[in-house]
Amino acid sequence: MEITQGIIRRLNEAGLKITPQRVAVMQTLCKLRMHPTAEELFAEVSKTIPGLSPTTIYNTLDTFVEKGLIKRVKTDADVMRYDAITEHHHHLYCAVSDRMEDYFDNELDEMLSAYFERKQINGFKVSDIRLQLMGDFSERKTTQ
Amino acid sequence: MEITQGIIRRLNEAGLKITPQRVAVMQTLCKLRMHPTAEELFAEVSKTIPGLSPTTIYNTLDTFVEKGLIKRVKTDADVMRYDAITEHHHHLYCAVSDRMEDYFDNELDEMLSAYFERKQINGFKVSDIRLQLMGDFSERKTTQ
DNA sequence: CTTTAATTTGTATTTATTACAAACAAGTTT
DNA sequence: AAACTTGTTTGTAATAAATACAAATTAAAG
Ligand SMILES: [Mn+2]
Ligand SMILES: [Mn+2]
Ligand SMILES: [Zn+2]
Ligand SMILES: [Zn+2]
């Protein structure tokens, strides 16, 4: 239950009431590392909380985003996805499989910060640099 | 009509029949530099082609994307946007105003290519590097 | 406990997108 | 040029994701 405690603390810090729905959504989001959609979350959280309303999923996710507890992420596909990791990071994305993975790289971030500190963009103040690395997740078994 | 000729040539090269709808959609996409949505395109193209069906917009855009004539771009908002520029480039994006602008930077691209040639990502083959530069379009009149 | 305000539910809408079949038109064949 | 073929457009109906809203419920403060 240590994980649950951490979630409860974070919800409290955000000034949100602790409800089974919210705890379950956050737990599920942290567990599923694959940037799930609202629908996927609804299916998963419903296992824990029968009778859960889809509306609650949308409400909860919106609230979490508002409070900065999670982030929205978008792919080229049609649905919104959610990310429990709010620290700065990038994404590896394969458009064919619509699969997305996190990518952390400090060296890269420092290089980019330095670059945009030197090279200012006229009329635009950069606050965050997000890379979407398009490509393919090479399966181990691929011969090529 | 030189622009139209170029469009017709590109449609031909893609093996698509030349129709007023397709030419108008492509013209409008090239004219509107702000990455319009399907709905925005429908409104604009309808001026030229009365009685145009929204379905045609969606069909046409899908076809163009399939043939590589245009690209989809996503923001944090709920709708898909379209981009007539298929050459490699990045985007400046302000989440507050949902405004998006193109950003070209050769020096940056070379730096990134070099970086990812050196630093391989385990289990992922990078084919394209897209930056989303989050921030604010600083209005000239802003005092701060 | 009681109270109160926030949250959840359930239902109805909205909006973006897709499915599909009939009507139509571009480009080819004769 | 007329007929033909096939891809395209239209119109309508359906879906899917998301949102609006009011009633029912519940967390947590007093
Ligand atoms: Mn949708
Ligand atoms: Mn939608
Ligand atoms: Zn992520
Ligand atoms: Zn662009």
DSSP string across B90-127: EEEEETTTTEEEEE--HHHHHHHHHHHHHSPBTTEEEE
| pLDDT tens digit sequence for A128-137 | 999 999 999 9
In the 52-71 segment of chain B, residues within 7 Å (Cβ) of strand D are: 52-56, 59-60, 63
Handedness of CA B119, A134, B40, A55 (dihedral sign): negative
Nearest CA in chain A to B128: A134
- Max mean pLDDT among A30-44, A85-99, A103-117, A124-138 falls in A103-117
Q: Is A96 within 8 Å of A51 (Cβ atoms)?
A: no
Q: Considering the entire predicted model, what is its pTM? A: 0.82
**Are B79 and B94 part of one and the same domain?**
no
- Domain-located, residue A144: no
- Domain-located, residue B118: yes
Q: Is B81 within 8 Å of B100 (Cβ atoms)?
A: yes
Q: Which two tokens stand for residue B56?
A: 């045609």
Beta bridge partners of B72: B82
Question: Across residues A74-82, what is the average pLDDT?
Answer: 75
CA angle B89, A138, B107 (to 5 degrees): 25
A133 φ/ψ angles, rounded to the nearest 5 degrees: -90, 110
- Domain-located, residue A6: yes
Q: Is A129 on the interface with B (CB under 8 A)?
A: yes
* Structural domains counted in chain A: 2
**Would you call B135 and A127 a contact, using CB atoms and an 8 Å cutoff?**
yes
- Domain-located, residue B123: yes
Task: Name the residue with higher pLDDT: B61 or A78.
Answer: B61
- Say which residues have a Cβ less than 8 Å from residue A97's Cβ, sequence separation at least 6: A137
In the predicted model, is pLDDT for residue B17 greater than 60? yes
**Would you call A108 and B124 a contact, using CB atoms and an 8 Å cutoff?**
no
In the predicted model, is pLDDT for residue B142 greater than 50? no
**Are B55 and B123 part of one and the same domain?**
no
Which of B65, B81, B109, B126 to probe by mutation at the A interface, max A CB count within 10 Å?
Answer: B126
**Are A18 and A64 part of one and the same domain?**
yes
Q: Is B25 within 8 Å of B62 (Cβ atoms)?
A: no
